[in-house]
Structure 1
């Protein structure tokens, strides 16, 4: 691995959200049980060699994430990850919760608890399908099976992805402009959810019916069923965050964060059949898929870093048919992103689910799981029944339903009015204003930025904000929270934040 390579978009976004929230929300654990059968003869020495070989094959796992001038880079970790044998009395839960140091690395750990290999990786180097690859490659290294060479490195992928995103950006902005309507709460039975933070949470393990509807994939049918449930709760335009894979044929065997969280909105109607509605959801997903690599924060201005784009999020993946091993795929990391975070693994026979929920959503988690399962079972009997026949939920009317953040005409979410204290009047620090102005002009690539100019109106975006914050910190010794510039994206707002501190 070269000393520094620019990180992928997913790595930058996850790193920013991690720094804002901390905790274990981005820990991705799995447990590989080395028991009977194919792995009966595996000992600790064999496992240790396999872990070393895995990291050599996927050098991203021996990396760390550092910031230089507001840009995230992958750098070599201070130590190379290897197998550790758990101490007597040590608990797997404590190992999973142990913090990662993103700037020092490494960002994956292998710990053997008896015959259970606990692998914990940080989301900045990992995604759901990476779990399959870790298990497949580890078992292959343990039994000496041949593994085909990787056609591309992660650094090469990140470089090619940047070029593709740049080429698609204008079209992606036009695509999302009519779809983005600001952040909105979600109505659930007898309550409202509106958190997009990462925080400590609890988990509900469940198994959902695997429904096959002609013309739809299992994921599309499941997503449509979820939106029908949210419609029954009283959401006229259900919105959920969805994780979409950005893998290509070249990156199919690479471990890394090949995922982009985007928004899926729908407009159910009682006189539609489920199949008709599902086909509309499929069409929308297909349209979104064209821009699956473009981070929403690049396509839509003023989206501050959050752990989730919506209070309810869904991730879905098929379990690899090539893996014959005893694996616990959905190990809980102790946290939730948003209020309800549904992770699904499709085994081909059923949908194994892990519903992570916040303290605010605790009373809603079990009813939500039960009612989603009920909708799916009804669909299995007859996918052509009317949506009106699926609306079995009759929630009590909420006393108040908060509205979405105010939206501008361009569809971007609202923000606080620009500050005015630095507009050049008496008492303004003219020297500091000019130093801040110089930084903004450099980053935005414009000849002149006035103190009340909105950086998002000057084609700024989330990466621009991080670069401005980093340069102000490095050159001027000024530390401004990123959220401040999303709320007041002007030089005047920045100076007011400095004066406030």
Structure 2
């Protein structure tokens, strides 16, 4: 059978190279002789029924079942493999089986016979005959009886109770909270549709799909830091339709050539839009019209509600629903026995107590002592937090190379995945110098038949730890991989996040925990969208955001393997990532061709040619660049030109390392003495420059000891000690201890942040626990943000130590006081400095829309805080009118106002903004955005055209996304706060429109920029004499409205202000 299967694959490739696709035979069936009729002609009725392909046909040949047990198993195997029948001696993994299909076999055996068999058994007994014998031992005396299905259904969840998240959802929800506003965990499907598309039918089909699958209408509200599932009622598919004009306004430029690759890149912004899991729905659907008979459908689902298997389900069901809509029929889709929420409740009940403890204990033992960081030779230092750009390299193994790896795996009793895992781990070991390699891999985790037709996130992650020590051959590495992989499969139910938490690993935003390399072999059931009357072409787009240092994604196609190697672009330059892809391809080919050779002696390159290049560099070093190292680089050139030495870069076995890889530097004086080993890690570049690594670790004696435990030094630290003790359910006394070192984990981190917000009224980003995870660091952050811009408190203490009086800085039209950051830093010492921001910024209370009401509110805050007088209101832009109004209010209350300072503004704010602020909603939102951009020093990349194509709620979503991604407000701004900012902005416009000044008696100073003074028709005093009976002094200053409050002009402004401040009382 093995020879016939290989010959069948060879014949199929030969035919595919010479025939159109529709003429390539689907199967090759080998016969000893042809069946002939009485007349000697071919008797076609005597031909055996072919399977779908060569392996299936091979499976069908052979001895039929001998017992009812074998017959039942043969039926299960045939259904899973997609063939009509299977011989009892056919090897499951040689006739098209793999680990995912093996999982389905075991699941069906469990449902049919009520016996929970380990997946390993199918690898050890890979034929029907052998597997039936093993099953018979479990079943006992009734083994040959007719098998009847055993009740094994997942029960429906109690919908009256809170619906829990599955463990997979918890992991994705946590990552979403860790990186708010990022689209990195979006799963996108882009399809070019050419032909007569019936848009209403497509919309109805998508609506039916949403009604059929609860996950597509699930949101995840949070209470006390704990999320739950909430199923929304069925709704019409939110299919946004963009024409050419809307595309241009959104910054999407369809390419001229319209290839799947160029279209995929052009529509990347649609796939990257963040999805709000808390508000829902967790999907976005867009139809982009390219031409009258050409469009692109882009479906974006958050990973928390989908996985690779689910996208196949989606494609198959949309195909059937659209076909039925076009034909006016009922879709032929089987009813769903359960929904995802039923599974998640069942999983939470089943994975509890001793079973969960046993699984976690196994993984903790298996991974104890594993290296926490994969020490690959980065080009640049890693960056913590934020999206990481991806560098993608494509490679392909041809059918012969793939067959060699498949044969290697088969001889070890394993699968193609195990050979690929061995090869990938070997590459990582060769590059890092480590012999203990941990690689992550996803597993479908659909171990129950009821789950096969659901859309949802079932996937779990397994950490495969491979020991490469000693001098193993390639075949030995595959055998080691087989053992590791089967062990992982047997314990695949352990939720990955709980495994990580149990290990107590240090957490960092720069590195993923436990492993930094991921291997994916895509073998889930596929689904090609096939819509009547349309040609459907999937779009192709490499990822632009990296989730790991290295991600290898492979898929079997046309007899070979197509692969994408994706590297973190912050750590690896283009040359290094391309070199890694070349090394991987060469190593996999060599592994299949020479499995009995020493794995660490398999060549990564053309060894002879590379050795010749290095030999020339070793003796005649090229000149060293003038710039020793690029900013952020981890390598710097070694100048050997003046030393006369020769150099070697060797691995631990004293063999030369390939160009680009690190090794130990050995040098010789060129006079015949043997080379000397140095302590320098070095590498050769492609241009022959010898570089040394510049981030070497400090020697052990230079590493400082852990600091002594420290107690609380502030009320905030004391409160946090109590809070942490409660959340962690253990006494916490050391303010310098890390949350994760004390036993905290991801879900507790979310709950802790919720409790912090409740206790202090201060929302901290979840990421702050990774970058500053001690009580001392968290307390300092809380103290700095106690009156942060997102808070509803109007008083923002910018400097609280002065006794000469208080400078008050009322907000500009956005409601924030961020515009005063630079100015406040230069104000005279001895003065308390307090910002006054608008009420309602967090959208929990309505904003004030009259200047008099604002002034009264701010005066209340000033007196309640006991701030010292005299007071000096200083207002910029819209804040100038507020400063004058506040001064009059303070005087009415008998509080001393020394002087009023206004900066580049007319007394009547309505006149100042006339013709500047648009009247439509989108235009006003953009004006507010520009004010925030100016205050914070960012560019959100928005324009009026982009905002006007969306409705109000979507505009808020878009601004929230951009603000979060920008890192403004510490990355902690919420959508409600963005909505609050817009409400405050509108209220301030209303207040400006109703301007009716109060009159005070304090002297008033006006700073006028050259740009404002140049506006025609303005009164000399800009109208300020109308708001005070005191003297008005005009100061001219260079610059314009934007530059006056930023360096360097702000320093001159501050000097002028400090000059007119009253002296300290003697």
- TM range, smaller chain: 0.7 to 0.9
Taking the TM superposition and a 5 Å limit, the aligned residue runs for 1:27-426 are 27-34=186-193, 43-76=198-231, 81-88=237-244, 90=247, 91=252, 92-113=267-288, 114-144=294-324, 145-166=331-352, 167-177=355-365, 178-181=367-370, 183-188=372-377, 191=379, 198-209=387-398, 210=402, 211-212=405-406, 213-214=409-410, 215-233=413-431, 234-249=433-448, 250-269=450-469, 271-289=471-489, 290-294=491-495, 295=497, 296-302=499-505, 304=507, 308-309=512-513, 310-320=515-525, 323=528, 328=538, 331-347=541-557, 349-359=559-569, 360-361=571-572, 362-392=574-604, 394=658, 395-397=661-663, 398=682, 399-400=692-693, 420-422=710-712
Could you say what the CA RMSD is over the residues aligned between the two structures, in angstroms?
3.7
Distance 2:741 2:512 in 1: 25
Q: Please, which moves more after superposition, 306-315 or 449-458?
A: 449-458
User: What is the CA distance between 1:138 and its match in structure 2?
Assistant: 0.9
User: What is the CA distance between 1:498 and its match in structure 2?
Assistant: 3.3
1:213-239 per-residue CA deviation (whole Å, 9 max, x = no partner) reads 212222221111111112222332233
Structure 2 counterpart of 1:469, from 753, 772, 778: 753
The answer to whether the 8 Å contact 1:29/1:96 transfers is yes
1:380-430 per-residue CA deviation (whole Å, 9 max, x = no partner) reads 33444431342435234244497999xxxxxxxxx98686241xxxx532x
User: TM-score when scaled to structure 2?
Assistant: 0.41
User: What is the CA distance between 1:135 and its match in structure 2?
Assistant: 0.7
The answer to whether the 8 Å contact 2:519/2:551 transfers is yes
1:169-228 per-residue CA deviation (whole Å, 9 max, x = no partner) reads 35414532443545313325x858867864233433443454312122222211111111
The answer to whether the 8 Å contact 1:14/1:124 transfers is yes
1:428 matched to which residue of 2?
714
User: What is the CA distance between 1:304 and its match in structure 2?
Assistant: 3.5
The answer to whether the 8 Å contact 1:2/1:75 transfers is no
Distance 1:367 1:94 in 2: 30
Distance change in 2, residues 1:492/1:367 (3 Å): closer
RCO (CA 8 Å, sep 6+): is it higher in 1 or 2?
1
What SS is found at the alignment partner of 2:578? helix
1:411 matched to which residue of 2?
none
Q: Please, which moves more after superposition, 433-442 or 257-266?
A: 433-442
2:32 matched to which residue of 1?
none
The answer to whether the 8 Å contact 1:314/1:341 transfers is yes
Distance 2:708 2:358 in 1: 27
The answer to whether the 8 Å contact 1:34/1:117 transfers is yes
5+ residue gaps, structure 1, are 406-414
The answer to whether the 8 Å contact 1:302/1:462 transfers is no
What SS is found at the alignment partner of 2:467? coil
2:171 matched to which residue of 1?
13
2:965 matched to which residue of 1?
none
Q: Please, which moves more after superposition, 69-78 or 483-492?
A: 483-492
What SS is found at the alignment partner of 1:332? coil
5+ residue gaps, structure 2, are 1-158, 253-266, 289-293, 325-330, 531-535, 606-657, 664-681, 683-691, 699-704, 786-1066
User: What is the CA distance between 1:333 and its match in structure 2?
Assistant: 4.5
Distance change in 2, residues 1:155/1:317 (3 Å): same
User: What is the CA distance between 1:157 and its match in structure 2?
Assistant: 1.6
Highest Rg: 1 or 2? 2
The answer to whether the 8 Å contact 1:55/1:62 transfers is yes
1:408 matched to which residue of 2?
none
Distance change in 2, residues 1:291/1:458 (3 Å): farther
Number of paired residues?
Answer: 482
Distance change in 2, residues 1:364/1:223 (3 Å): same
Distance 2:164 2:720 in 1: 26
The answer to whether the 8 Å contact 2:445/2:492 transfers is no
User: What is the CA distance between 1:137 and its match in structure 2?
Assistant: 1.2
The answer to whether the 8 Å contact 2:394/2:564 transfers is yes
Distance 2:780 2:362 in 1: 34
1:462-498 per-residue CA deviation (whole Å, 9 max, x = no partner) reads 2122211211212332444445545776656644553
Q: Please, which moves more after superposition, 135-144 or 6-15?
A: 6-15
Distance change in 2, residues 1:443/1:20 (3 Å): closer
User: TM-score when scaled to structure 1?
Assistant: 0.82
The answer to whether the 8 Å contact 1:131/1:329 transfers is no
User: What is the CA distance between 1:251 and its match in structure 2?
Assistant: 1.9
User: What is the CA distance between 1:28 and its match in structure 2?
Assistant: 1.4
Distance 1:149 1:404 in 2: 60
